[in-house]
Amino acid sequence: MTLNLGVIGTGAIGRDHIRRCSTTLSGARVAAVSDIDPVQARAAIAPFESEALLFETGEALIASPSVDAVLVTSWGPTHAAFVHAAIAAGKPVFCEKPLATTAADCLSIVKAEAATGKRLVQVGFMRPYDSGYRALRQVLRDNTLGTVLMIHAAHRNPTVGANYTTDMAITDTLIHELDVLRWLIEDDYVSAQVIFPRRSRHARADLRDPQIVLLETAKGIRIDVEIFVNCRYGYDIQCEIVGEEGIARLPEPSAVTLRHQARLGTPILTDWKDRFIAAYDVELQDFIDGVRDGALKGPSAWDGYAAAVAADACVLAQRTGAVEPIVLDRAAAGV
Ligand SMILES: NC(=O)c1ccc[n+]([C@@H]2O[C@H](COP(=O)([O-])OP(=O)(O)OC[C@H]3O[C@@H](n4cnc5c(N)ncnc54)[C@H](O)[C@@H]3O)[C@@H](O)[C@H]2O)c1
């Protein structure tokens, strides 16, 4: 039976998910859309599903019997209310990151979902679906590196928009590392510190760029992540895991090697959308399959909460310069 999806928020990622559900993935169709801009919502769905329903509000879409499962792709501050409404309606919900804009709101979602006794929430962290990160995790699971000691990572963008602020380096950029590194090493963070090196002249005067985030995990692994959002040369994601028996690196995206004009090299991507494009397909197909099988497997509400708690500590550490603790409230969550 085809799964009827309702999409709330038809901006950039919402439209992209509508396209992939309608043209690339199997087992689902977009049966309903909603956006505060109804003209845009109608235009987003029109090329794919002429019979899709248009709802005035996300709440009405969630309540509709025409919708089996919900994709929340609206602005971050709206996510928590829509996810709560989906849980209350007993409908599976895929929520783009962030699950909620505060750790407290993430925790309330964890509790609401737990109270139903069912897994209903998947958070849109796509890097665990990237083939390179999956291969890296397999190396760790095979214990090829022995005990993991350190991780050196980097998240570099060529440039950022005028509205990008220093704390967004954590909440919008580092948030993906916070999720995927925790998933890779199957360990939780216990502290964070942020160091600001010399500022790049390419960064706006009010933006601290680059930044180095230092994390420590419960097992004592030390992680450094360079965030450099005006690096100029490309969109570049690096991850090197250092173990007692060896080192493993995230593979580079595949590209043709060129011997050209006395140079040997491969191009570097410049647009973040291209870097994980395949992972978005695998991620959403996994949600569709998980709903149909009655067993969601992707990033959970707890993962969304864990990322939010770590991000809060990093933002605080930006201001204090101190080592800030990262504490997950397992007792309150009942896990
Ligand atoms: N996983 C990823 O890599 C990734 C990539 C891009 C965006 N995102 C996340 O997806 C979300 C959306 O990002 P975007 O780039 O598509 O933003 P966007 O601004 O392009 O689109 C957001 C849409 O939500 C709509 N909206 C806002 N409030 C609404 C409401 N109450 N009801 C219905 N619609 C509402 C807006 O009108 C807009 O069309 C953000 O949380 C963002 O962080 C995740």
Looking at residue 333, its pLDDT comes to: 78
- 64, HSE (Cβ side, Cα atoms, 13 Å): 23
Residue 81: CB within 6 Å of ligand 1? no
Q: What is the DSSP string of 8-47?
A: E--SHHHHHHHHHHHHT-SSEEEEEEE-SSHHHHHHHHTT
Element (H, E) at 40: helix 38-45
Query: Does ligand 1 come within 6 angstroms of the Cβ of 35?
Result: yes
From 7, 8, 13, 284, the mutation candidate for ligand 1 (largest count of ligand atoms within 8 A of CB) is 13
Residue segments in the chain with a per-residue pLDDT below the cut of 70: 335
Domain residue limits, the chain: 3-127+278-300, 128-275+309-325
Let me know: does 244 contact 231? Beta carbons within 8 Å.
no
* Ligand 1 atom having least distance to the Cα of 10: 39
Q: How far is CA 148 from the centre of its chain?
A: 24
Tens-digit pLDDT profile for residues 284-320: 999 999 999 999 999 999 999 999 999 999 999 999 9
Residue 212: how many other CB atoms lie within 10 Å: 15
Query: Residue 291's pLDDT is what?
Result: 98
Q: Ligand 1: distance of its center to the CA of 73 in Å?
A: 5
Pocket test for ligand 1, best of 35, 281, 284 (most atoms within 8 A of CB): 35
**DSSP bridge partners of 71:** 7, 94
Q: Is the CB of 13 under 6 A from ligand 1?
A: yes
- Could you give the CA distance from residue 78 to residue 132 in angstroms, rounded to a whole number? 32
Ligand 1 lined by 73 (C-beta under 6 Å):
yes
pLDDT at 94: 98
**What global pTM score does this model have?**
0.96
User: Which strands make up the sheet holding 247-249, listed edge to edge?
Assistant: 247-249, 236-243, 148-156, 222-228, 211-217, 189-195, 324-325
> Are the folds of 3-127+278-300 and 128-275+309-325 the same?
no
> Rg of the Cα trace of the chain?
20
CATH topology of domain 128-275+309-325: Dihydrodipicolinate Reductase; domain 2 (3.30.360)
Place of tokens 């919502």: 41
Rounded to the nearest angstrom, the gap between the alpha carbon of residue 206 and the centroid of all alpha carbons in its chain is 26
Ligand 1 contact via 282 beta carbon (within 6 Å) = no
Q: Is 78 in the pocket of ligand 1 (CB under 6 A)?
A: yes
Report the atom number in ligand 1 closest to the C-alpha of 176.
Answer: 3
Cα–Cα dist 82/65, whole Å: 16
Residue 96, ligand 1, Cβ within 6 A: yes
Count of alpha carbons within 13 Å of 149, Cβ hemisphere only? Answer: 8
Q: What percent of the residues of the chain are helix, what percent strand, and what percent coil, each to the nearest 5? A: 40, 25, 40
d(Cα 14, Cα 283) in Å, to the nearest integer? 14
Atom in ligand 1 nearest the alpha carbon of residue 13: 16
- 3-127+278-300: in CATH 1.10.10.10: no
Q: What is the pLDDT of residue 193?
A: 98
